[in-house]
């Protein structure tokens, strides 16, 4: 039977018992009590997560700056008002003795009636700064008030009237007033850093702010907002060629195109380097320049040690920058230092609790650390903030499946976020739901979609080859393996993609029946990745294990799985136990040892 038909999948007689044993067990009355107990455990874990102390919630010197009201007659001044709001937050984030919530999370409260006590509780802060901006010609008036959200008491209030060209001076005035009101230390070096002018051109500054808003609202899976942001950064630089901060952000944006392979060419990398060189020439000691150096090292050079060093140096001047904490966590993950990465990701999440990308990074990190109860509690807590976020829901569902082994609950949770589409092929295969897996693969064949397997994408011929192998159809697997080789030969990977590309080639060779070549390519891919990206090596280790399995090297496959799981668990014990791909290995005693290694922490 070929993939993509509507017929029900029936495994061959010699595999039926192995592949469906877990699905045919009868439920005893005790199962109901187990289900109730599992639900109670989930509720308790979520409650404990919500009650746990954080660095932000414990600090009386913590603050969120809510979006300012635009009182100008011209609605076009919304961009200017948002820019003022960003400038104030940027200034405050440089003060070590304060804890400052990021602009992105604060902007979630721009519209609607504000219950300040509730807002403060949601953001984990003690104080709220509110304000309004009124622009009249070349002058701007700001009204500010600082409120203790725990008591609703007004701590401080003031107004400022400045020329538009002098608005940067308001940052320093506000920083001084707020640190005084909160009895926080305001060091001389912090004052000097805040007093620096980013640009003397209001037009350049507004273009820069518009670019930042596009990046803030964008997704790492959609290139259009970042392409537009690059254009705006270039326009800002045209207005003020000495605008170092715009050069730094332009370098980061070009690096994103290179890193995500939207444009993995040397020309794009050179653009990132050229913009970085300009920032270093104009402001070599600025913390934002240090951040851009780290981003370039990470995205364009895969030098994660150097990226980490630059970001840690920048942190000395940017202690409350959520993105920087996220960058530090990402570099630590790539270096295989997952426990340290989790600490940084949690800090980033505390500073920017409404960033889905940061929350997902933290959830994935603690998932790899097998802290499944914490993952469940986090996903439960964030459900109202990010309703139906597919990746977050999947991580939570996999964590719960690791603990209770309930495949039906897992697939129900995934399907609820699929907007009417069936559970994905890889998701269904992981829990041994063979009918759902085949249906999902048939949909991919029909639509031509590329499946996101959570840790990257896999070419459709490889998925079809894998499915044919699981069904015992070796001739069909060879056919799709050869098709995958043809497709992969048309790609031109950049230096960052070499290891992953070689891993895919190895897998295609194995399915194509070229075992010795597959083993050689697989070992080469492991050497490339293990030398640099330890986090990617965890995932690639499982892919190479699949290659060795297909190439009839079971001992080497088990060794790769064990090494991958020891570094960080991409797969759970329940998934390895029920995924039909690994059925040929389950009779080996080493497989049981691997399952013990994957015990939840």
Which is more confident, 15 or 230? Answer: 230
Please, what is the angle between helix 338-351 and helix 322-334, to 10°? 160
Would the pLDDT of 142 be above 80?
Answer: yes
Q: 392 near 402, Cβ under 8 Å? A: no
What is each CA distance from 576 to 224, 412, 430, 566, 595, in whole angstroms? 38, 20, 7, 14, 8
Half-sphere exposure in the Cβ direction for 351 (13 Å, CA): 23
Nearest Cα neighbor of 537 from 525, 548, 549, 546 is: 525
In a domain, 450, yes or no: no
Please indicate, yes or no, whether residues 564 and 514 belong to a single structural domain of this protein.
yes
Could you report the per-residue pLDDT of 495-520, keeping only the tens digit for each?
778 888 899 999 999 999 999 999 99
Tokens at 69, concatenated: 């009201």
pLDDT of residue 465: 96
pLDDT of residue 219: 65
Which is more confident, 580 or 453? Answer: 580
Please, what is the angle between helix 498-511 and helix 534-550, to 10°? 10
Please indicate, yes or no, whether residues 588 and 468 belong to a single structural domain of this protein.
yes
Would the pLDDT of 57 be above 50?
Answer: no
Could you report the per-residue pLDDT of 296-340, keeping only the tens digit for each?
999 999 999 999 999 999 999 999 999 999 999 999 999 999 999
Can you give the residue range of the structural domain that contains 483? 456-597
Please indicate, yes or no, whether residues 291 and 309 belong to a single structural domain of this protein.
yes
How many CB atoms within 10 Å of residue 263? 16
Q: How far apart are CA 269 and CA 278, in angstroms?
A: 14
Could you report the per-residue pLDDT of 374-385, keeping only the tens digit for each?
999 999 999 889
In a domain, 361, yes or no: no
Q: Domain boundary at 263, 285, 318, which?
A: 318
* Cβ neighbours for 27, distance < 8 A, ≥ 6 positions apart: none
Would the pLDDT of 16 be above 90?
Answer: no
In a domain, 111, yes or no: yes
Q: How far apart are CA 260 and CA 550, in angstroms?
A: 30
Q: For position 266, which CATH number holds?
A: 1.25.40.10
Please indicate, yes or no, whether residues 460 and 588 belong to a single structural domain of this protein.
yes
Could you report the per-residue pLDDT of 330-371, keeping only the tens digit for each?
999 999 999 999 999 999 999 999 999 999 999 999 999 999
Would the pLDDT of 1 be above 70?
Answer: no
pLDDT of residue 30: 42
Q: How far apart are CA 358 and CA 368, in angstroms?
A: 16
pLDDT of residue 566: 86
In a domain, 405, yes or no: no
In a domain, 592, yes or no: yes
* Mean of the per-residue pLDDT values of the chain: 86
Top mean-pLDDT range of 75-79, 97-101, 436-440, 451-455: 97-101
In a domain, 477, yes or no: yes
Would the pLDDT of 54 be above 80?
Answer: no
pTM above 0.75, yes or no: yes
Please indicate, yes or no, whether residues 513 and 534 belong to a single structural domain of this protein.
yes
Please indicate, yes or no, whether residues 84 and 209 belong to a single structural domain of this protein.
no
pLDDT of residue 55: 42
Top mean-pLDDT range of 170-174, 455-459, 473-477, 528-532: 473-477
Cα end-to-end distance, the chain, whole Å: 42
Number of domains comprising the chain: 3
Q: For position 116, which CATH number holds?
A: 3.40.50.10610
Q: For position 562, which CATH number holds?
A: 1.25.40
In a domain, 167, yes or no: yes
Q: Domain boundary at 269, 291, 318, which?
A: 318
Could you report the per-residue pLDDT of 181-201, keeping only the tens digit for each?
999 999 999 999 998 889 999
Q: 160 near 142, Cβ under 8 Å? A: yes
Return the sign of the alpha-carbon dihedral for residues 100, 331, 329, 227. Answer: positive
In a domain, 153, yes or no: yes
Please indicate, yes or no, whether residues 489 and 593 belong to a single structural domain of this protein.
yes
Q: 429 near 3, Cβ under 8 Å? A: no
pLDDT of residue 452: 59
Q: How far apart are CA 66 and CA 101, in angstroms?
A: 10
Beta pairing, strands 127-136 & 139-148: antiparallel
| 126-137 mean pLDDT | 91
Q: How far apart are CA 552 and CA 554, in angstroms?
A: 6
Q: Domain boundary at 131, 165, 195, which?
A: 195
Please indicate, yes or no, whether residues 190 and 206 belong to a single structural domain of this protein.
no
Which is more confident, 532 or 287? Answer: 287
Please indicate, yes or no, whether residues 141 and 216 belong to a single structural domain of this protein.
no
Tell me how far the alpha carbon of residue 74 is from its chain's centroid. 38
pLDDT of residue 457: 55
Three-class SS state of 28: coil
DSSP string across 225-245: HHHHHHHHHHHHHHH-TT-HH
Please indicate, yes or no, whether residues 176 and 75 belong to a single structural domain of this protein.
yes
Q: What percent of the chain has pLDDT above 70?
A: 87
Please indicate, yes or no, whether residues 143 and 244 belong to a single structural domain of this protein.
no
Could you report the per-residue pLDDT of 34-53, keeping only the tens digit for each?
444 444 444 544 444 444 44
SS3 for 266-303, per residue? HHHHHHHHHHHHHHHHHCCCCHHHHHHHHHHHHHHHCC
Please indicate, yes or no, whether residues 216 and 183 belong to a single structural domain of this protein.
no
Nearest Cα neighbor of 557 from 578, 577, 579, 584 is: 584
């Amino acid at each position: 039977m070929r993939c993509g038909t509507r017929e029900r999948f029936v495994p061959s007689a010699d595999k039926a018992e192995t592949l469906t044993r877990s699905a045919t067990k009868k439920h005893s009355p005790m199962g109901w009590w187990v289900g109730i107990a599992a639900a109670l455990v989930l509720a308790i874990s979520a409650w404990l997560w919500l009650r746990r102390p954080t660095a932000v919630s414990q600090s009386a010197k913590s603050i969120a700056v809510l979006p300012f009201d635009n009182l100008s007659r011209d609605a076009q001044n919304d961009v200017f008002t948002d820019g003022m709001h960003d400038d104030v937050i940027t200034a405050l984030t440089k003060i070590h003795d304060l804890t400052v919530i990021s602009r992105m999370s604060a902007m979630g409260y721009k519209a609607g009636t504000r219950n300040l006590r509730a807002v403060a509780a949601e953001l984990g802060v003690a104080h709220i700064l509110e304000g309004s901006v009124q622009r009249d010609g070349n002058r701007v008036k700001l009204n500010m008030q600082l409120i203790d959200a725990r008591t609703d008491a007004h701590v401080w209030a003031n107004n400022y009237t400045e020329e538009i060209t002098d608005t940067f001076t308001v940052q320093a005035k506000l920083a001084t007033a707020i640190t005084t009101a909160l009895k926080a230390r305001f060091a001389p070096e912090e004052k000097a850093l805040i007093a620096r002018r980013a640009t003397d051109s209001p037009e350049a500054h507004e273009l820069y702010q518009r670019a930042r808003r596009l990046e803030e609202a964008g997704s790492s899976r959609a290139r259009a907002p970042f392409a537009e942001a690059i254009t705006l950064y270039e326009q800002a630089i045209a207005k003020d060629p000495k605008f170092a901060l715009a050069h730094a952000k332009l370098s980061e944006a070009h690096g994103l195109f290179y890193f995500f392979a939207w444009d993995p060419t040397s020309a794009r990398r050179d653009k990132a380097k050229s913009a970085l060189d300009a920032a270093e020439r104009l402001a070599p000691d600025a913390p934002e320049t240090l951040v851009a150096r780290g981003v370039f090292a990470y995205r364009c050079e895969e030098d994660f040690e150097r990226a980490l060093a630059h970001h840690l140096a920048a942190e000395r001047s940017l202690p409350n920058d959520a993105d920087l904490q996220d960058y530090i966590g990402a570099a630590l993950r790539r270096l295989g230092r997952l426990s340290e990465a989790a600490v940084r990701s949690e800090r980033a999440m505390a500073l920017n609790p409404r960033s889905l990308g940061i929350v997902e990074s933290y959830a994935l990190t603690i998932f790899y650390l097998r802290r499944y109860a914490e993952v469940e509690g986090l996903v439960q807590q964030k459900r109202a903030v990010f309703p139906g976020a597919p990746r977050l829901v999947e991580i939570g569902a996999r964590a719960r499946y690791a603990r209770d082994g309930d495949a039906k609950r897992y697939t129900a949770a995934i399907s609820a976020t699929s907007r009417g589409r069936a559970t994905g092929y890889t998701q269904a295969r992981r829990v041994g739901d063979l009918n759902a897996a085949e249906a999902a693969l048939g949909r991919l064949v029909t639509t031509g979609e590329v499946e996101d397997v959570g840790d990257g994408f896999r070419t459709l011929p490889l998925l079809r080859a894998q499915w044919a192998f699981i069904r015992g159809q070796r001739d069909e697997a060879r056919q799709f393996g050869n098709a995958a080789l043809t497709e992969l030969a048309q790609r031109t990977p950049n230096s960052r993609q070499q290891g992953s590309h070689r891993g895919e080639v190895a897998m295609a060779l194995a399915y194509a029946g070229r075992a010795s070549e597959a083993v050689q390519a697989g070992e080469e891919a492991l050497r490339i990745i293990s030398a640099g990206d330890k986090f990617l090596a965890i995932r690639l280790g499982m892919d190479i294990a699949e290659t060795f399995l297909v190439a009839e090297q079971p001992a080497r496959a088990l060794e790769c799985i064990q090494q991958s799981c020891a570094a960080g668990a991409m797969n759970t014990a329940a998934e390895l136990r029920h995924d039909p791909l690994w059925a040929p290995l389950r009779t080996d005693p080493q497989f049981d040892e691997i399952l013990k290694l994957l015990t939840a922490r």
